[in-house]
């Protein structure tokens, strides 16, 4: 296993444990068999894996995870956020670095990990985090508008 995979899998497992997730939706076309072996050791009851966002029609899982091999549009991210899940973790690489950072910030995501050695970034979103961000913006007179939702 390469260093990037170790970093990604370890970070992802920590998130699953910290968030006390019983189920997860994973979007990737990568071979994640080594990740699944690690997941067997934690309290995750079920995991659904699809290669593309378009393959997911309904999601009742505790968390929605997108790995860095999947390219998402703003519309895809909006669909995940507004229709599929409240807790979201999206891993990206450093391609279109500034653009991705701007989009994620505008959509209310927070940067959780920035690993330039492995060219891996992680963004997260959940309602508590987002409303806390909106409250800070409200207090500083930078009100949350529909562009942040």
Q: What does the pLDDT read at residue 1?
A: 55
* Cα→Cα distances 122→49, 66, 68, 145, 147, Å: 19, 10, 9, 24, 22
Residue 30, Cβ density class (10 Å: 0-12 exposed, 13-18 middle, ≥19 buried): middle
pLDDT by residue (tens digit) across 130-142? Answer: 445 554 545 555 4
User: Which parts of the chain register pLDDT below 50?
Assistant: 127-131, 135, 137, 142-149
Q: What does the pLDDT read at residue 148?
A: 40
Q: What does the pLDDT read at residue 131?
A: 47
Q: What does the pLDDT read at residue 139?
A: 52
Report field, pTM of the whole predicted structure over 0.75: yes
> Starting from the edge strand earliest in sequence, which strands make up the sheet with 63-66, in order?
46-50, 23-27, 63-66, 88-92, 120-125, 110-115
Helices (H), 30-106: 33-39, 74-79, 97-106
């Amino acid at each position: 296993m390469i260093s990037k995979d170790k970093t990604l899998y370890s970070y992802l497992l920590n998130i699953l444990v910290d968030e006390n997730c019983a189920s997860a939706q994973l979007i990737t076309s990568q071979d994640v068999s080594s990740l699944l072996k690690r997941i067997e050791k934690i309290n995750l009851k079920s995991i659904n894996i699809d290669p593309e966002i378009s393959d997911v029609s309904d999601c009742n899982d505790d968390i929605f995870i997108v790995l860095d091999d999947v390219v998402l549009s703003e519309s895809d991210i909006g669909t995940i956020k507004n229709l599929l899940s409240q807790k979201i973790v999206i891993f990206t690489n450093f391609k279109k670095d500034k653009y991705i950072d701007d989009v994620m910030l505008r959509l209310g995501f927070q940067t959780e990990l920035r690993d330039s050695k492995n060219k891996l970034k992680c963004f997260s979103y959940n309602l508590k985090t987002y409303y806390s961000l909106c409250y800070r913006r409200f207090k500083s007179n930078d009100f949350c508008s529909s562009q942040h939702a």
